[in-house]
Amino acid sequence: MNLLDELIAVISSPMLQRSLLAALVVGLAAPVIGTYLVQRRLSLLGDGVGHVALTGVAMGWLVGSWTGAEPNDAYAVLGAVVAAVIGAILIEVVRSRGRTSGDVALALLFYGGIAGGVVIISIAGGTNANLTGYLFGSLATITTGDLIMTIVMAAVIMAVGIGLRTALFAVSQDEEFARSTGLPVQVLNILIAVVAALTVTVSMRVVGLLLVSALMIVPVAIAQLVTSSFRRTMFTAMGVGAAVCVIGLVITFFQRLAPGATIVVLAICVYAVVAAVRPLLSAGRGRAADPHPDMDDDVNVSKAGARE
Amino acid sequence: MSDLISVTDLRVDLGSATILRGINLTVGEGEVVALLGANGSGKSTLMRSLLGLVPITGGDARLFGTSVRTQRRQIPWPRIGYVPQRAAVGSGIPATALEVVLTGLLNDRRWHVPRGGRARGLAALESVDLGDRANSPLHQLSGGQQQRVAIARALVRRPDLLLLDEPMAGVDRPTQQTFARLLATLQSEGITVGIVLHELGPIRPLIQRCVVLRHGQVAHDGGIPAPAPGHGDADHEHVHLDHGHHERADVHEAVTPRSLP
């Protein structure tokens, strides 16, 4: 059987179709909000929110075991959404206050999130093994219901992130000016935090909470190497995100590798290659051009070798 | 009410320090007012408190007759343009000059670039002599060019009141010339302008009124004050690069009104 037949066999499996589709929409959606986070120097926000979301997963599990829900983790995603949104708003409040203790407050939130999750899951009668799927992704077990929820959430993320592009760019680029225009800066900041939290929970399925941030940030880091406008950076990052998610997942159909980690490693490899190749690409243009042609020279210098 | 700005007994505290106290000031329509003072005298804080960027702890400031302190939502934000002291360049993500200028079209009610906004943005960049740099990423522009982008971002709003915080600090000569010419145009169009300045420099002939702050209080309000001893002698050479007395003659030539976007 050659590779093509194998690929066709893979693609005709409903389970693999579902996971491919989930990887595609998450790959498209995650870099949208990642672009704003990089712009505001909050690249690690996704990480922090991911940690907090773990407590939410465990809380959902606990509620599920109390109410005798079937399956046990019926409320886990809901719990993750609630905890992630609360965590993201808390981080935004700490950030906007600009207190020096903000750094420590964030650290407390991160570690509290992970530790809280592990403690609560044991109270709920689960083990750390139950958390593994949330920590490292669980694309293989995605159901049709999960897929629909993933698509709906990704659609919301893209609608807000792309639809309100100019306003969200304005507050991320120069917050002080944005306030002077009358824009409701606080509302927009919280909107970014909430959409980031949704992105974390929707990406949890694909790469897991520990690697969520990579899916939001690495495609943006790749895109900004080759673009010169905000708009193009966002759309390039979306394309890169979708491509690495799908290709990374397809690789794991043939090699027994963990999908989430494979996707992230692939993305980082792409970054390394693009960063290495970029100087070669831009060598031809730009180098010779005077960046400030409207500036007159300040002093006259004789041609090469002024010193005798 | 014809006063665009009216400040009554304004007090601003930041932490435990009193930055401004007992400030009374009115600026009428069409006035061009320079706000002068030494470093730390509270010039920037006064301008920022007018815009509600710094909390007012006593007294009040009104823009277009509306209180900044209690009626912030009712202020006609589209009529106000602001140029911050150091325009934020932003971080990793590249953004073009035009993208940054287009954010100036937003206000409390409008969260999108309106129809025809792009053309307005380009015209605003043209008015600061950066029409050819519209698609250049901001981080590739010089400090002076970035300052001009920030001015274009305020002008694209077509404001009736323009507030600028040290627009001349540390900028190159083309930017000073562009700015002096722009200011003349704005003046001829009857736009009210407030400028925080360290020193009048090349725009001296365009200023009719100066407000001088000293230790958070108004020390002078009227014509151009005489320089302090040691600051106005004919042979006085400023060590700072941003003053440039010797360039004044060139700048005057450049002061010819041009139409704005």
Note whether B99 contacts A229, CB cutoff 8 Å: yes
Res. B222 pLDDT band, cuts 50 70 90: confident
User: Which of residues A135 and B242 earns the better pLDDT score?
Assistant: A135
Nearest 10 degrees: Cα torsion A71, A72, A75, A77: -90
- pLDDT of B50 reads 94
The 10s digit of each residue's pLDDT in B98-142 is 999 999 999 999 999 999 999 999 999 999 999 999 999 998 888
Stretch A97-102: mean pLDDT: 65
Backbone angle region of B64, left / alpha / beta, with phi > 0 → left and psi within -120 to 50 → alpha = left
- Which residues in chain A touch residue B156, judged by CB atoms under 8 angstroms apart? none
Query: Which residue's entry shows tokens 């600061």?
Result: B128
Q: Residue A285: is its pLDDT beyond 60?
A: no
- B10 to A174, B34, B39: CA distances (angstroms): 27, 18, 20
Return the structure tokens found at A29: 């959606």
Whichever domain contains A182, its CATH number is: 1.10.3470.10
DSSP for A245-256 reads HHHHHHHHHHS-
Domain count of the fold of chain A: 1
Nearest 10 degrees: Cα torsion A157, A246, A220, A236: -90
- A192 to A87, A171, A179: CA distances (angstroms): 13, 10, 16
Q: Residue B242: is its pLDDT beyond 60?
A: no
Interface check A290 vs B, CB under 8 A? no
The 10s digit of each residue's pLDDT in B47-58 is 999 999 999 999
Stretch A122-147: mean pLDDT: 84
Instruction: Answer whether residue B245 is part of any domain.
Output: yes
Res. B256 pLDDT band, cuts 50 70 90: very low
Note whether A228 contacts B135, CB cutoff 8 Å: yes
Please, which residues 168-207 of chain A have a Cβ atom closer than 8 Å to chain B? Answer: 169-170, 172-184
Range of the domain at B198: 3-86+95-227+237-254
Note whether B102 contacts A166, CB cutoff 8 Å: yes
Note whether B53 contacts A183, CB cutoff 8 Å: no
Instruction: Answer whether residue B151 is part of any domain.
Output: yes
| Side-by-side strand order, sheet with B58-63 | B17-28, B3-14, B58-63, B66-67
Residue type, B52: G
- pLDDT of B253 reads 41
User: Which of residues B246 and B18 earns the better pLDDT score?
Assistant: B18
Whichever domain contains B72, its CATH number is: 3.40.50.300
Res. A283 pLDDT band, cuts 50 70 90: low
Three-state DSSP at B158 gives: coil
The distance of A72 to chain B (nearest Cα, Å) reads 42
Instruction: Answer whether residue A21 is part of any domain.
Output: yes
CA distance A8 to A269: 27
As to burial, measured by CB atoms within 10 angstroms (0-12 exposed, 13-18 middle, 19+ buried), residue B30 is middle
CA distance B153 to A124: 55
Instruction: Answer whether residue B244 is part of any domain.
Output: yes
Question: Going along chain A, which residue ranges are E strands?
Answer: none
Backbone torsions φ then ψ of B55, nearest 5 degrees? -65, 135
Check the CA dihedral B130-B134-B140-B146 and report its sign: positive
CA distance B89 to B91: 7
CA distance A98 to A92: 10
Instruction: Answer whether residue A280 is part of any domain.
Output: no
CA distance A68 to A291: 67
Whether residue B57 contacts residue B13, with contact meaning beta carbons closer than 8 Å, is answered with: yes
Q: Which helix (H) or strand (E) holds A43?
A: none
Q: Residue B248: is its pLDDT beyond 50?
A: no
The 10s digit of each residue's pLDDT in B11-70 is 999 888 899 999 999 999 999 999 998 888 899 999 999 999 999 999 999 999 999 999
Note whether A228 contacts B100, CB cutoff 8 Å: no
Res. A93 pLDDT band, cuts 50 70 90: confident
- pLDDT of B246 reads 42
Instruction: Answer whether residue A126 is part of any domain.
Output: yes
Instruction: Answer whether residue A182 is part of any domain.
Output: yes
CA distance A85 to B119: 39
Note whether B174 contacts A294, CB cutoff 8 Å: yes
Stretch A7-31: mean pLDDT: 89
Q: Residue A270: is its pLDDT beyond 60?
A: yes
Indicate the residue of B87, B95, B153 with minimum beta-carbon distance to A229. Answer: B95
Return the structure tokens found at B46: 């006064």
Instruction: Answer whether residue B194 is part of any domain.
Output: yes
- Which residues does B79 contact at the CB level (< 8 Å), separation at least 6? B64, B157, B159, B160, B161
CA distance A252 to A269: 16
Instruction: Answer whether residue B232 is part of any domain.
Output: no
Indicate the residue of A166, A177, A231 with minimum beta-carbon distance to B153. Answer: A177
Q: Which of A78-82, A141-145, A263-267, B131-135 has the lowest mean pLDDT?
A: A141-145
- pLDDT of A223 reads 95
Res. A140 pLDDT band, cuts 50 70 90: confident
The distance of A78 to chain B (nearest Cα, Å) reads 31
Interface check A256 vs B, CB under 8 A? no
- A67 to A63, A70, B177: CA distances (angstroms): 6, 9, 73
Three-state DSSP at B240 gives: coil
CA distance B152 to B179: 11
The 10s digit of each residue's pLDDT in A201-231 is 999 888 898 888 999 999 999 999 999 999 9
The distance of A170 to chain B (nearest Cα, Å) reads 6
Note whether A182 contacts B108, CB cutoff 8 Å: yes
Instruction: Answer whether residue A35 is part of any domain.
Output: yes
Note whether A183 contacts B140, CB cutoff 8 Å: no
Instruction: Answer whether residue A71 is part of any domain.
Output: yes
Domain count of the fold of chain B: 1
Whether residue A181 contacts residue B77, with contact meaning beta carbons closer than 8 Å, is answered with: yes
Q: Residue B252: is its pLDDT beyond 50?
A: no
User: Which of residues B245 and B102 earns the better pLDDT score?
Assistant: B102
DSSP state of A210: T
The 10s digit of each residue's pLDDT in B172-220 is 888 888 889 989 999 999 999 999 988 787 888 888 899 999 999 999 9
Cα angle A182-A184-B73, degrees, rounded to a multiple of 5: 55
Stretch A35-58: mean pLDDT: 89
Instruction: Answer whether residue A301 is part of any domain.
Output: no
Three-state DSSP at A125 gives: coil
- pLDDT of B76 reads 94
Q: Mean pLDDT of all residues in chain A?
A: 86
Res. B169 pLDDT band, cuts 50 70 90: confident
Three-state DSSP at A183 gives: coil
